[in-house]
Structure 1
Amino acid sequence: MTAVHIARWDESDLDLLERLNAPEVRHHTGGPETDEEVLARHERYLRGPGPRSGFMFSVALPDGVKVGTVGYWERIWHDEQVYEMGWAILPEHQGRGLATAAVRAVVAEARAERHHRYAHAYPSVDNPASNAVCRKAGFTLLGETEFEYPPGQLMRSNDWRLDLTA
């Protein structure tokens, strides 16, 4: 299995977030954000748990090189309080199982919270890599759905669910 280390988001992670704000990374999530939006996202991540921030982590290789982000946050889905999970890996590090390893690590964090039964992920139906991450990380595909992301835009997504009590 591919080894990664996840660490709570900190001030030094702004550069990583800026590098992840590339068209090839943000293709399935509404495209790159403005510099102001990236900085606002970084500030939310630093503040920690709260609306649109949740528990965010940098993803690093065993040698400490930061390669991506992973996290989870609360949301209401079908009248139920759940966690939503999301991730991104720099293009030069994709295809090596790093996202799957990072998601497994963050699932362990969410399980330890013992706060919600389910975690969901909503990758675009047109994003085979993120859908494969969900499958490999043990999520169950519930089907296609319309999902609002970025705010104000509907996208066709798959609804993947993981039972955190299992």
Structure 2
Amino acid sequence: METRVRLEPWGPDDFRLLVRCNSAEMTAHLGGPESEEKLADRQRRYEALGAREPAAGRMFRVVLGAGAVGAIGFWEREWRGEPVYETGWAVLPEFQGRGLAATALAELVAHVRAHGSRGALHAFPGTDHPASNAVCRRAGFTCLGRVDFEYPPGNPHPSNDWRLSLTP
């Protein structure tokens, strides 16, 4: 089973992938599907992130063979008074359970280490999402404990705070 993935920069043609990632199944741990208006805004933000300097963050489509199987990215944020990066990912249901998210995260970490300027990368999967927590563990992140992370904004959700140092 092939698990080699490529990260390709997010572009205007990736809106269809964003729509596929917006299903009830894919957003069950994220507060549910977004409206068409919010998806269009998300697409604009993803494209704009790619136009900024590389250290500001990036969104990528996760590609296996000739097709996109998901999305992954990183962006700047302040967390507990520290400038860090946050990461998030989605792998389409028919490709889940094959290690693709962990492989894509390893590729992303290499990219962030090469282009980033912040000392740590955080992920905040819900405490009720064992697969995403396992991806963090497999990628070498350290779980700092449970937090009430707001996602979507204004909606606190019990999450784990996973941290990966980006410095040697």
Q: CA deviation at 1:100?
A: 0.4
TM-score (norm 2): 0.93
Aligned ranges 1:131-146 → 2 under 5 Å: 131-146=133-148
Distance between the aligned counterparts of 1:161 and 1:145, measured in 2?
13
Counterpart of 2:25 in 1: which secondary structure? helix
Q: C-alpha deviations, 1:1-20, integer Å up to 9, x for none?
A: 82100011011100000011
- Counterpart residue type for residue 25 of structure 2: E
Give the Cα–Cα distance (whole angstroms) in 1 for the partners of residues 82 and 132 of structure 2.
24
Instruction: Give the TM-score normalised by the residue count of structure 1.
Output: 0.94
**Paired residue total:** 163
Could you tell me which runs of 5 or more consecutive residues in structure 2 were left unpaired when the two chains were aligned. none
How far does residue 114 in structure 1 lie from its aligned partner after superposition? 3.9
**Runs of 4+ more than 4 Å apart:** none
Preserved CA contact (<8 Å) 1:45 1:54: no
| CA distance in structure 2 between the partners assigned to 1:31 and 1:132 by the alignment | 21
Matched residue, 1:66: 68
In structure 2, the residue matched to 1:107 is 109
Look up the match of 1:75.
77
Distance in 1 of aligned mates of 2:93 and 2:116: 33
CA distance in 1, matches of 2:147, 2:154: 16
Aligned to 2:159: 157
Q: Tell me, which stretches of 5 or more residues in structure 1 are unaligned? A: none
**What is residue 128 of structure 1 aligned with on the other side?**
130
Return the alpha-carbon distance in structure 2 between the equivalents of residues 152 and 72 of structure 1: 21
State how 1:49-60 maps to structure 2 within 5 Å: 54-60=57-63
Distance in structure 2 (CA, Å) of the matches to 1:23 and 1:94: 15
Q: 1:16 and 1:160 mapped to 2: Cα distance?
A: 26
Q: Distance in 1 between matches of 2:125 and 2:160?
A: 6
Alignment RMSD, CA only?
A: 1.4
Helix, strand or coil for the counterpart of 1:13? Answer: helix
Percentage of identical aligned residues:
51
Q: Which amino acid aligns with 1:23?
A: A
Q: Which residue in 1 is equivalent to 2:6?
A: 5
How big is the shift at 1:91?
0.6
C-alpha separation in 2, matches of 1:94 and 1:114: 28
